Structure 1
Amino acid sequence: MRPVLVTGATGTVGRHVVDGLRDAPDVAVTAASRDPDRARDRLDCPVVAFDVTDPTTFRDAFADVDALFLVRPPALSRVRRDIVPALAAAIGAGVDHVVFLSVIGADRNPLVPHARIESWLAESGVDTTFLRASFFMQNLSTTHREEIRRGELPVPAGTGATSFVDARDVAAVAVETLRTGTTGSYTLTGPEAIEYDAVCRRLSAMLDHEVTYDPPSLPRFCWSQYRSGGSLVRAAVVAAIYTTVRLGLADRVTDDVRTVLGRPPIDFETFVRDYRSVWT
């Protein structure tokens, strides 16, 4: 049995990774969580206490672990201070394969924290798999759920297109690479790039109400995010992400999901049908 530790185990991708590994006959999966009791209520697998910024949790978390599924905590951007010590401890404890949930374009954008994590891992000597995922379709069913329920999608994406990928496909690729020890870099996208006005038209066609797209300016978007309770820093980060869409940098489509899984990626209509109840 291959012992695998999953970080971000209750998150959008991590919980599907746990489910996939739990059903695999050749893997023993453990979930890592800052709140083990809460994680045990949500996951059907062993759970260990782990906080990437707390060295006192490293020894127990990494004991007897061969492979690690790594998710960067969104609040942490100072990689060398906040994340590298945990990675060094993992490798020192015997972890020989790290599958890292990165972002599309990390290989070309040294400013994103994911790029710095990739760089450190590449130089560490450990076997690595970088999953450079495009925007999750599930962002529409979580982050933008209430807005879509109200019949709007106010994001500053302009006329740019996005190669949305279903988080379940990302998780399935992670499970396969963790089980088999497959290394390399994969850019994970859906089967097409979609502009946001088309996203709204498709949502409108499949839901019981109309959804409209009226892209705000970047300053207006940041201000609305701040007024709704978010921080200006987070609003600026989200605005920067959507700027990549506006500039046409988020529309790359690849066949990497099919390459790993032997099937096409989940399409947008299937995603909407599967999640329809969250918007109605």
Structure 2
Amino acid sequence: MTAPVVLVTGATGTVGPHVVAALSDRAVTVRSAVRDPEAVPDELAAAGTAVEFDFAKPETWGAALADVDGVFLVRPPAVDEADLKAFVDAVGRVGVDRVAYLSTLGAEKNVLVPHHRIEKRIAATGVDYTFLRASFFVQNLLEVHRADVVERDEIFVPAGRGETSFVDARDVGEAAAVVLTESGHADRAYDLTGPEALDYEQVAAVFSDVLGRPITYPNPSLLAFARRMRRRGTPLGFVVLTCGIYTTARLGLADRVTDDCRRLLGRRPRRMRAFVEDHADDFARDS
């Protein structure tokens, strides 16, 4: 019997590599969708086949979707919503069995976010779907805010005193592999959070304890945060998006903790401390 083929979009992003890694431990053939198959990291190349893919280039979709049974679908921030919806329609046309879509916590109620509309589009295709509505990725502290920790010993985010139920992208990747390869998850939605909600004073305390030096949380205003990001050359659109995400925390809307990760993984999801311990070298001061 031929192993099912699973296409992983966003394979080099925050969650995609962890989806690929988790799927590689299962009886499936992994196909990583990337812009340049010749430049994929070694771990992706070892886990399966890389195929050229671009949401903005429909001419790349056919080969990527050929004989595919499942799709892990993620919308990178730079991808136009219309392009992603067109790809969703193509997934429905070619007979893919199931789709796991990386959405965001609260998307079912928040009509302002593109994830709300994309979820509806996926459901309309008739393909078996699972929506993975994830909380704020703890990896953002490394990918977006590492410079503040390394250079200034600060967690510099405009989240006020609000708490966030941080989730580890590694756990989300493992959850995606579960819903794409096991039965019982069709037409379901899961709210994926970590096991605790922390404010950023508590986050700074975890960093301080693990790294062995004082890390502070200055609690900057949205304007101060935006100014620092822009001085670093961060695109305005990304700054606005990030401010919107942290405003959710400021308003006390990011603290909901669920049991969905534990039920899917059969274990407790990773805590903030585990993430900082695993990346302590990345947050060490530059010599």
Aligned residue type for 2:85: V
What RMSD over aligned residues (CA atoms) do the two structures have, in Å? 1.2
In the alignment, the residues of structure 2 paired with residue 30 and residue 40 of structure 1 have an alpha-carbon distance, to the nearest angstrom, of 14
For the 8 Å contact 2:92–2:126, the answer to whether it is kept is: no
- Give the equivalent residue in structure 2 for 1:209: 213
1:41 CA displacement: 4.0
- What TM-score does the superposition give when structure 1 sets the normalisation length? 0.96
1:279 and 2:279 equivalent?
Answer: no
For the 8 Å contact 2:88–2:121, the answer to whether it is kept is: no
Aligned residue type for 1:8: G
1:2 and 2:16 equivalent?
Answer: no
What pairs with 1:164-179 in structure 2 (closer than 5 Å)? 164-179=166-181
| 1:176-203 deviation line (CA, Å, top 9, x unaligned) | 1111142210000011100001100111
| 1:230-265 deviation line (CA, Å, top 9, x unaligned) | 122221111011000000000000000111111111
Equivalent residue of 1:230, what SS?
A: coil
Aligned residue type for 1:136: F
In the alignment, the residues of structure 1 paired with residue 70 and residue 220 of structure 2 have an alpha-carbon distance, to the nearest angstrom, of 43
What pairs with 1:33-182 in structure 2 (closer than 5 Å)? 33-39=34-40, 41-43=42-44, 44=46, 45-76=48-79, 78-79=80-81, 81-150=82-151, 151-181=153-183, 182=185
Aligned residue type for 2:30: V
For the 8 Å contact 1:121–1:128, the answer to whether it is kept is: yes
Count of paired positions: 277
Q: Which moved more, 1:168-177 or 1:108-117?
A: 108-117
- Give the equivalent residue in structure 2 for 1:254: 258
| 1:17-65 deviation line (CA, Å, top 9, x unaligned) | 11111121x2111101111111264511211111011111011010000
Aligned residue type for 1:271: F
For the 8 Å contact 1:134–1:250, the answer to whether it is kept is: yes
- Give the equivalent residue in structure 2 for 1:236: 240
1:68 CA displacement: 0.2
In the alignment, the residues of structure 1 paired with residue 234 and residue 278 of structure 2 have an alpha-carbon distance, to the nearest angstrom, of 29
- What TM-score does the superposition give when structure 2 sets the normalisation length? 0.93
1:103 CA displacement: 0.9
In the alignment, the residues of structure 2 paired with residue 98 and residue 214 of structure 1 have an alpha-carbon distance, to the nearest angstrom, of 41
Equivalent residue of 1:279, what SS?
A: coil
In the alignment, the residues of structure 1 paired with residue 221 and residue 145 of structure 2 have an alpha-carbon distance, to the nearest angstrom, of 17
| 1:53-89 deviation line (CA, Å, top 9, x unaligned) | 111101101000010000101112x42x221111111
In the alignment, the residues of structure 2 paired with residue 70 and residue 119 of structure 1 have an alpha-carbon distance, to the nearest angstrom, of 14
For the 8 Å contact 2:210–2:277, the answer to whether it is kept is: yes
Of 218, 225, 249, the match for 2:222? 218
Q: Which moved more, 1:213-222 or 1:244-253?
A: 213-222
In the alignment, the residues of structure 2 paired with residue 232 and residue 66 of structure 1 have an alpha-carbon distance, to the nearest angstrom, of 38
Equivalent residue of 1:141, what SS?
A: helix
In the alignment, the residues of structure 2 paired with residue 54 and residue 85 of structure 1 have an alpha-carbon distance, to the nearest angstrom, of 11
1:223 CA displacement: 2.0
Equivalent residue of 2:270, what SS?
A: coil
In the alignment, the residues of structure 2 paired with residue 42 and residue 2 of structure 1 have an alpha-carbon distance, to the nearest angstrom, of 20
In the alignment, the residues of structure 1 paired with residue 181 and residue 172 of structure 2 have an alpha-carbon distance, to the nearest angstrom, of 14
